[in-house]
Amino acid sequence: MDSVLNTASEQLASQIENHLQTIYQGFETDIAQLVSDLISIMRLGSVEQVPVPYQNHWSQQDVILITYGDSLLRTDERAMTTLHRFLNEQCDGVINGVHVLPFFPYSSDDGFAVSDYYEVRESVGEWQDIQRLSAEYRLMSDLVINHGSGESEWFQHFIKGEGPGHDYYFTTSPDENLTEVVRPRTSPLLREVQTTDGLKYVWCTFSHDQIDFDFRNTGVLKEFVNIVRFYLDQGVNIFRLDAIAFLWKEAGTSCLNLEQTHEVVRLLRTLIEYACPSAMIITETNIPSRENLSYFGNANEAHCVYNFSLPPLLLHALITGQNFYLKQWMMSMPPAQDGTAFFNFIASHDGIGLRPVEGILPDSEVDLMIATMQDFGGHVSWRALDDGGKKPYEINIALFEALQGTVGGKDEWGEARFLCAHTIMLALEGIPGLYLHSLLGTQNDHERVKATGHFRSINRHQWDYSELEQLLTDQTSHHHRVFTAMKHLISIRAQQKAFHPNGTQFTLHLGEQVFGFWRQSIDRTQNIFCLNNISAESATLSLSDLNLIQTQDWRDLLSGQRYEDLLGSIELAPYQSIWLSNR
């Protein structure tokens, strides 16, 4: 046993050293000491075995609910208790994972300017609530690793020039060559801060209240590894690396997706896998598709990457009734290797990102989509360009409202179109992430936008739980209809081996009106043809185009209808979907 322990321990130390050599190449860093420190922080002094590579820690039964900890409010009850109540009482076992968006004390950006990484925000709950939730559901937490709050104790120590965190922040000179830096916002990159050591310029990729950390300082790395260890101890099983693409800064570069950033992800994966082999990393990189895919590495970086191109492309297809661009993108997507998976979503707490369709959707189509969403009550957020100009960065709108019509205006097919979007998403290769407000059919919250002054608030409604309970039982309410239909879809999905996140996927060519793809189980025993009419007109599809095996029995999993004449045709109503399965 001792020889096995030594071998595993030695391999771990060697892997960490290799990561650190790449990250800190050219810096005077005591690598050996840093290796020892990281092993100590993660409590990996005596590892028993090397993690088995290329393991899929997921199945077709996995669906992750995305929500703020305080999206559901009940009188005289902690918000996290109410969320737990909703999952247990209303979701009937169809949800087995939950991503609780930043539940820490914060100063801005609805949680993404963290002021204390080791505390739970009092208005949400306490660590016991997190632990109880993680005992029943797979728990995803944000690791807001790129930046911290300008009101945090760490930043106050920076201003004083002493105390924990005083050297955690990235400073530079405005005379440096920063013209190539890619930004997701229009505010100035640098913020002037008067400190006891004089005037300093801190780096702010996002807002001036979100100060970027300096990972050239090994103390910052050790602090975040300590945070990872602490979260594991609280029951966190999935780490969402927020804004990770911007982590490493270097003058004269884009400061986006630099090699040191990728190596930090590899290092965190190594440490997390040795500490908890079933834990996962998901990278949040709202960037063009090809750059986004790079965070898979060689199946040695993120376990999952957000499928950021899916929301705008699916939205575009459903409001135009044409699937050309969605289909072209699908055909270009590589299958995820074992040990990796796509994280599919079509709505989130943020807006519908537009950078992920750069090079995929022509500007004219993006402009058409923006104009349509503005007609439906949505807003547009912008980002700065190198030449001082600006470009649309994301559309801010509730998905239920976004799909209430087409480029021709509002129509009577809103609910059907909305459910069609989710039927497509739930069938795609990957793990589905379902935003709470999509599950509930929540509409635009214009009052919250007025109250906060932020466009993203339009899709961050807070429900009174008693009111919500009434709506979910009211059969005349669209909230009831959407919620019931969504749970039905998820329940069917969970029973199909062909919907394993790593099952085979092949894009079908069925014309502009019908978006179709074929899924096959890993053991090749189940085939499902996913057929979706993405238009407001009925569609006819010849079964002979699918080349179905004549000796097998084919039925629609959604309606139960059986198809015996495989040379016949299928009639699809507007926005109808069929999951045609051989078992």
Q: Which residues are catalytic?
A: 242
175 belongs to an annotated ligand binding site? no
Q: Is residue 146 a contact partner of residue 246, using CB atoms and an 8 Å limit?
A: yes
CA distances from 117 to 114, 218, 395 (A): 6, 18, 30
Q: What's the distance, Cα to Cα, between the start and end of the chain in Å? A: 47
Q: What is each CA distance from 405 to 231, 317, 417, in whole angstroms? A: 43, 12, 8
Give the CB-side neighbour count of residue 256, counting CA atoms within 13 A: 17
Give the CA count within 13 Å in the CB-facing half-sphere of 308.
Answer: 26
Q: Tell me the three state secondary structure of residue 218.
A: helix
Q: In a 10 Å sphere around its CB, with 0-12 CB exposed, 13-18 middle and 19+ buried, how is residue 509 labelled? A: exposed
The single residue listed with the structure tokens 């965070």 is 295
**How far does Cα 512 stand from its chain's mean position?**
28
- Provide the H-helix boundaries in 276-386: 289-293, 310-320, 324-332, 363-375
Residue 365: CA count within 13 A, CB half-sphere:
22
Nearest to 294 by CA among 340, 251, 254: 340
CA distance 136 to 87: 10
Q: Residues, the chain, total?
A: 583
Give the rounded distance of the alpha carbon of 528 from its chain centre.
Answer: 26
The CA distance from 142 to 241, in Å, is 6
Q: Does 242 appear as a known binding residue? A: yes
Confirm or deny that 456 is annotated as ligand binding. Answer: yes
Across-strand partners of 470? none
Q: Which amino acid is at 284?
A: E
Looking only at Cα atoms, what is the longest distance across the chain? 81
Structure token digits, residue 42: 């993660």
Report the candidate in 80, 149, 65 with the shortest Cα–Cα distance to residue 109.
Answer: 149
Residue type (1 letter), 166:
H
| DSSP string for 521-576 | -TTS--EEEEEEE-SSS-EEEEGGGGT--TTS-EEETTT--EE--TTSEEEE-TT-
* 446 appears as a binding residue in the annotation: no
* Nearest-angstrom CA–CA distance, 8 and 2: 10
Q: Cα–Cα distances in Å, from 260 out to 200, 296, 538? A: 25, 15, 52
Question: What phi, psi does 256 have (nearest 5°)?
Answer: -135, 130
Single-letter residue type at 68: Y
Helix/strand/coil for 382: strand
The answer on whether 565 is annotated among ligand-binding residues is no
Q: Is 241 marked as a binding-site residue?
A: yes
> Is 233 part of any known ligand binding site?
no
349 assigned binding-site residue = yes
Annotated binding site: 109, 147, 240-242, 349-350, 456
Annotated binding site for substrate: 109, 147, 240-242, 349-350, 456
